[in-house]
Amino acid sequence: MEDPGPLFARAAALATEFRRDIATAKQRPTHNYAAAVPDWEGPTPEAGQPAEAVLEELVARAAPGLHAMTGPRFFGWVIGGSHPAGVAADWMTSAWGQNVGNHQAAPAASAAELVSGQWLVDILGLPAGSSVGFVTGATMANLVGLAAGRSEVLRRVGWDVEADGLFGAPPIRMVVGEDVHVSALSALQFLGLGHSRVIKVATDGEGRMIPDGLVAALEGGEGPAIVMLQAGQINTGACDPFPELIPIARAHGAWVHVDGAFGLWAKAAPGRAALAAGVEDADSWATDGHKWLQSPYDTGFAIVRDPEAHRRAMAFGASYLPAVAAGERDPTHYVPELSRRARGFATWALLRHFGRAGIAEMVERNCRVAGQIAAALREEPGIAVVNAVALNQVILRFGPERNAEEADRLTLATVSRLQSDGIAFAGASQWRGQWLMRVSVSSYATTEADGRMTAGAIRAAWRTVRGSNT
């Protein structure tokens, strides 16, 4: 076997260079997609190339189209910063090449998932003994949690959905809030529950489900029901009022699933935990590692209070798989896949590196910076802070309140100006039919100084747009 030393060392050097420069780099790619495709195009390779040459070529071709997602002033889409402690563990994960399908094949990887899953449940304040499936992200975590719910509510009426599917099954009432995340609806689409065949409950100004609406939705029918709630609305960052909603769902025998992709992490910060109070009373939760835990892509967690329901929904019994003895745990029984990346290593490394205190500090700091940006911009004429900034999300609107069309235009112009300036990155989003700039503060790398720079950059972008408008 050839010595991989020089190749690996070169990769480490190139990665180091990239990350060292990220704070001062433009917080946007040089090439957009249309420009990036020609960067990669070429004839199908016929003869091979040495791996070191391929690495150099890969990095050169990628460079212009890389977004500074790991930078300190990247605020698009709610994205974590891929913390170096996780990246290094992820390199080991790739080097070790473990297939974490079962615990006999991959004892260390399976054990790392077991233990880091338990730590995660503890840090998020969820019920001890909940099972954790390591998936690619919150979309798949929603799918797993909802599959467990689907299994359990149908089992209670004597239907085996794993064996018999949904053909002829008692219908499930699927209840969501008006401001549910689109990816949670796609989980419904995969599960045969339908993204449109849902009962939508009205929400308040921050996107929180209104309890009376949930009462009406559940009283208006009968039979098995699943209620999907939310911790962290994608625009406002708001959490549903769990202490009011969960007892209502329970009284109607519904399974409660929570999409907590980033908002569930409020529970890890004592100063913010009240925002997600009561979320621990649900039946299942979806959250991301690659958002607030800063895991390298891709990592999400499907957490289920009743491990039996979780396992029933996900396990399969192919004869070549070693049987699971009592007390043993095969990671594959809690996720849709068989062969799978060992995500437990990076999760373990990040939890070990931050500790409970480090996660609390990071979540709290991100929320504080969000508040700081909102406070600074509220002072500026023509900028409106649209949400109550309680967590990490800030939504901004630019221009005259009374002229929606003009404000839409000015808002989009300000977003594009900010992006081309490249000091900070935020994207555009729609909320209640209006265009907004959305600033999602969710990176370990973001400090108060970045908050000041970002508020300054947004203010400057707005002043330029306003100036060229008059």
Ligand X SMILES: *Cc1c(COP(=O)(O)O)cnc(C)c1O
- Smaller CB distance to ligand X: residue 181 or 417? 181
φ/ψ (deg, to 5) at 122? -65, -50
> What character string, x for contact with ligand X (CB under 6 A) and - otherwise, covers 300-339?
x---------------------------------------
- Smaller CB distance to ligand X: residue 262 or 354? 262
- Smaller CB distance to ligand X: residue 262 or 285? 262
- Smaller CB distance to ligand X: residue 102 or 347? 347
Q: Cβ of residue 370: shortest distance to ligand X, in angstroms? A: 15
- Smaller CB distance to ligand X: residue 347 or 414? 347
Q: Does 408 bind ligand X (CB under 6 A)?
A: no
Q: Which of 176, 223, 171, 229 is nearest to 198 (CA)?
A: 176
φ/ψ (deg, to 5) at 295? -65, 150
CA–CA gap between residue 249 and residue 211 (Å, rounded): 10
- Smaller CB distance to ligand X: residue 232 or 344? 232
Q: Cβ of residue 242: shortest distance to ligand X, in angstroms? A: 15
CB half-sphere exposure, 224, CA atoms < 13 A: 19
- Smaller CB distance to ligand X: residue 113 or 259? 259
Residue choice 89, 126, 138, 174 for contact with ligand X (CB under 6 A): 138
Residue choice 150, 181, 329, 341 for contact with ligand X (CB under 6 A): 181
Site residues for ligand X, 45-84, by CB under 6 A, read 78
Q: Cβ of residue 289: shortest distance to ligand X, in angstroms? A: 9
CA–CA gap between residue 298 and residue 358 (Å, rounded): 21
Residue choice 72, 84, 137, 296 for contact with ligand X (CB under 6 A): 137
Residue choice 30, 99, 118, 183 for contact with ligand X (CB under 6 A): 183
Give strand ranges (E) for 214-358.
225-230, 255-259, 284-288, 300-304
> What character string, x for contact with ligand X (CB under 6 A) and - otherwise, covers 80-119?
----------------------------------------
- Is the omega angle on the peptide bond into residue 408 within 30 degrees of 0, that is, cis? no
- Smaller CB distance to ligand X: residue 78 or 410? 78
Contacts with ligand X by CB under 6 A: the residue count is 14
CA–CA gap between residue 456 and residue 381 (Å, rounded): 14
Q: Does 441 bind ligand X (CB under 6 A)?
A: no
Q: Does 377 bind ligand X (CB under 6 A)?
A: no
CA–CA gap between residue 286 and residue 204 (Å, rounded): 23
Structure tokens at 122: 């503890």
- Smaller CB distance to ligand X: residue 208 or 312? 208
Ramachandran class of 247: left when φ > 0, alpha when ψ lies in -120 to 50, beta otherwise: alpha
Q: Cβ of residue 401: shortest distance to ligand X, in angstroms? A: 28
- Smaller CB distance to ligand X: residue 181 or 340? 181
- Number of Cβ within a 10 Å radius of residue 327: 5
Structure tokens at 344: 């437990």
φ/ψ (deg, to 5) at 49? -130, 150
Site residues for ligand X, 232-291, by CB under 6 A, read 232, 234, 259, 261-262, 288
Q: Which residues of 42-81 are buried (b: 16+ CB within 10 A; e: fewer)?
A: eeeeeeeeeeeeebeeebeeeeebbebbbbbbbbbebbbb
Pairing of strands 383-385, 173-177: unpaired
Q: Are 157 and 328 in contact (CB under 8 A)?
A: no
Site stretch for ligand X (CB under 6 A), options 100-108, 133-141, 204-212, 394-402: 133-141
Q: What is the 3-state secondary structure (H, E, C) of 175-221?
A: EEECCCCHHHHHHHHHCCCCCCCCEEECECCCCCECHHHHHHHHHCC
Structure tokens at 108: 């260390």
Site stretch for ligand X (CB under 6 A), options 176-184, 188-196, 220-228, 381-389: 176-184
- Smaller CB distance to ligand X: residue 137 or 399? 137
Q: Does 179 bind ligand X (CB under 6 A)?
A: no
- Smaller CB distance to ligand X: residue 84 or 300? 300
Helix axes 344-378, 448-469, angle to 10 degrees: 50
Q: Cβ of residue 442: shortest distance to ligand X, in angstroms? A: 9
Q: Cβ of residue 264: shortest distance to ligand X, in angstroms? A: 10
Contacts of residue 361, Cβ cutoff 8 Å, sequence gap at least 6: none
Q: Cβ of residue 440: shortest distance to ligand X, in angstroms? A: 9
Q: Cβ of residue 455: shortest distance to ligand X, in angstroms? A: 23
CA–CA gap between residue 228 and residue 287 (Å, rounded): 13
Give the interface with ligand X as residue ranges (CB under 6 A).
Answer: 78, 137-139, 181, 183-184, 232, 234, 259, 261-262, 288, 300
